[in-house]
Amino acid sequence: CMGGNGDGDGDGNGNGGSDGNPETVVIGSDIPYEPFEYRNEAGELLGFDVDIAEAVFADQLGLDYEFEQTGFDGIIASLNNANFRVIMSAMTINETRAEQVDFSDPYFTAYQTVLVLEGGDIAERADIQGATVGVQRGTTGEAAAEDLQSEFDGDLEIQSYDQITGAFDALLNNQVSAVINDNTVSADFAAETDGVVFLEGDGVAADRDDAPDYLTLTIEEYGIAFRQDDDEFRGEVNDALAAIREDGTYEEIYDEYFAA
Ligand code: ARG
């Protein structure tokens, strides 16, 4: 990943900051999920979501904001318990979640993909049958693994980890033969880890020009999640998202992380 300059204070205490501004937007997020939300060696919070938060909440809406670490599994319950104002966590918009929260307009397209060890047990899609795959608990990667499990009549073992790093470690330690996860996050890990590659094959996104050229299991869109009684604020955030697309800020941030 190319880095970033996000400066959300990321102290994680969710106390609304020290400047006494009551308008601080506390953002629930599961960190690390590089390149969307992660810390560098100095402990600074960086990432695509962090930069989008800066552009939307700070620059467009004039609000302070801070990120609060929250486990991904249960992050929706935590939002609905008012532990923070919004979720920004590379979260995919889907119907199940939309019963419990309202989403912003989509701000990023992602694909579920299969990461494997080069020369390992899985060389093609059919080899996933009978294997053990690692996922992050509560994610659409876990849901995609469950779909494969049904397709293979149960002949697939799923190991769920609290954070994606647990699944990546399990792959390197041969505890799982594959990791099913969002493409750009897996791409970052593969880029910095020898012998880790995407499973090839024609997937659901094969005919899209902007899609990855390896196996894709799903096409997804990320959204910012709000409580269902927060419509006015959600409208302001949608306007801000539209404004940063229009003025080039979105593209600048996008290129910083994902330029070819
Ligand atoms: N996009 C996937 C989902 O919504 C994974 C998100 C995981 N995010 C994170 N920050 N750990 O389920």
pLDDT for 23: 79
**Closest alpha carbon to 258 in 25, 36, 13, 15:** 36
Q: What pLDDT score was predicted for residue 46? A: 98
CB of residue 67 inside a 6 A radius of ligand 1: no
Residue 238 φ then ψ, to 5°: -60, -40
Residues 120 and 209 in one domain: yes
Q: Are residues 72 and 200 in the same domain?
A: no
Cα of 202 from ligand 1 centre, angstroms:
23
Inside any domain, residue 16: no
Model pLDDT, residue 51: 98
pLDDT in tens, 123-178: 999 999 999 999 999 999 999 999 999 999 999 999 999 999 999 999 999 999 99
Shared domain for 136 and 167, answered yes or no, is yes
Q: Which of 220, 181, 195 is nearest to 35 (CA)?
A: 181
Does ligand 1 lie within 6 Å of residue 181's CB atom?
Answer: no
Ligand 1 centre to CA of 146 (Å) is 16
Regions of the chain where pLDDT drops below 70: 1-22, 260
Answer yes or no: is the C-beta of 48 below 6 A from any ligand 1 atom: no
| 194 and 244 together in one domain | no
Nearest CA to ligand 1 atom 5: 139
Would you state the pLDDT for residue 18? Answer: 44
Total count of domains within the chain? 2
Answer yes or no: is 99 within a domain: yes
The interface predicted TM-score of the complex, written ipTM, equals 0.98
